[in-house]
Structure 1
Amino acid sequence: MSKPYNRLDKNDAVVLLIDHQAGLISLVQDFTPSDFKNNVLALANSAKFFGLPTILTTSFEQGPNGPLVPELVELFPEAPYIARPGQINAWDNEDFVAAIKATGRKQLIIAGVVTDVCVTFPALAAIAEGFDVFVVTDASGTFDKTVQQAAWARMSAAGVQLMNWFSVACELHRDWRNDIEGLGALLSNHIPNYRNLMTSYAKLSAK
């Protein structure tokens, strides 16, 4: 049965960046390294642009998973940073869940590594607790396309909405007139071909 359109709301959304760690990222094979890094940073910069609360978490940093990638630490120096001592499912960590609930927001925008574990497990747990969950597919990575598709199917069947970072940004923005230059710059910085559109717009606007 189809459900009503539940669109993202910048006043009710929080971004959860889960386990984008130096070691774990080496497991991502469903995107090229350069594309994946661009997608993750595009989502992160979208969170900054829209002023969304953002929560960072890592799994067993002192082990082979490694530290959070430095770009995310630099982008969100004041964000809650939950270094989980061992819990595989971030939702099993009380500090992580408390940080989410402290925002008072019900829409969770989730991305992480790996998709089938670090993203799927907390996404399903959050759905079970009544949150609206939006997983950013191209800022989440795993071993291969087969694993990717199985994880997406499992989450979708539970009610998780699957999006890419571009659609997240556009749905949050709602209307170009809210900030033409701001959204244009965000998209241009992460989609090289989009610069052509903004260059064309700039030329027309100058006439």
Structure 2
Amino acid sequence: MPASVKYKRLDKDNAAVLLVDHQTGLINLVQDFTPNEFKNNVLALANLAKFFKLPTILTTSFEDGPNGPIVPELKELFPKSIIPRPGQINAWDNKDFVKAVKATKKKQLIIAGVVTDVCVAFPALSALEEGYDVYVVVDASGTFNEAVRDAAWHRMAYAGAQLMNWFSVACELHRDWRNDIEGLGTLLSNHLPNYRNLINSYLSKPLNKKKG
């Protein structure tokens, strides 16, 4: 890491989550993850937003057209947090969306969406230009193929965005296991089968202790 770059770690008291265009039509364009893998990652990000009580804003693009409505699982989690855009491709061009972001009074924006190179990159670059710290959740964002994805990642990182996955977002927000061992463990276990094995092993330890 260059000396001029400072480690800006996520702070649950200064972060908001933006879920951009996870819509029933657009999600069919995602080819850099399997459907089940991508759904799991998106819901993991949504659930960690709930767990850490982060302000969360959802937005849709032209949902009356082929892009479709927000996926039902996200609507169920955040029924009052959806801002429909009548036509703007860049969410940051929509005044209601920007107003909602500014109303959170958070300077760290955790962004994911479909597709990575447009619906994520455009608002991420716009937010960076306005002085926000932007964290792009790469495994909860999807697009046509890996080449397109990588180009979008490079573009955003070059502009100053930090690229993370949902697991690292959860860990950086939590900071210390002692804050809530079972809470974070349950969150991770619900979305990572291998982690469920780990946490089950941990929870069974008292049963294996020798009697004194």
Question: In which range does the TM-score fall when normalised by the shorter chain?
Answer: over 0.9
What is the CA–CA distance in structure 2 between the aligned matches of 1:70 and 1:14, rounded to whole Å? 21
TM-score by length of 1: 0.98
Q: Which residue of 1 aligns with 2:12?
A: 10
CA distance in 2, matches of 1:19, 1:54: 13
Larger radius of gyration: 2
2:54 paired with 1:52: yes
% identity of equivalent residues: 75
Q: Which amino acid aligns with 1:25?
A: I
Alignment of 1:98-177 (within 5 A): 98-177=99-178
Aligned length: 206
In structure 1, what residue type is equivalent to 2:205?
L
Amino acid at match of 1:91: W
Match of 2:85 in 1: 84
Please, what TM-score do these two structures have when normalized by structure 2?
Answer: 0.96
Unaligned runs of 5+ in 2: none
Gap regions ≥5 residues in structure 1: none
RMSD across aligned positions (CA): 0.8
Name the SS of the counterpart of 1:193 in structure 2: helix
Q: CA deviation at 1:77?
A: 2.1
Give 1:78 deviation, angstroms: 3.1
Instruction: Return the alpha-carbon distance in structure 2 between the equivalents of residues 18 and 114 of structure 1.
Output: 9
Deviation of 1:203 (Å): 1.1
- How big is the shift at 1:101? 0.3
Partner of 2:36 in structure 1? 34
Distance 1:43 1:6 in 2: 20
Distance in 1 between residues matched to 2:197 and 2:80, nearest whole Å: 35
**Using the alignment, how far apart are the partners of 2:201 and 2:18 within structure 1?**
35
Q: CA deviation at 1:199?
A: 0.8
**Residue identity matched to 1:92:** D
The 4+ residue runs of structure 1 with deviation greater than 3 A are none
* SS of residue matched to 2:193: coil
Residues of 2 paired with 1:181 and 1:117: CA distance? 37
User: Following TM superposition, by how much is the alpha carbon of 1:205 offset from its aligned partner in structure 2, in angstroms?
Assistant: 3.5
- Give the match's secondary structure for 1:82: strand
1:159-186 deviations in Å (ceiling 9; x for gaps): 0000000000000000000000000000
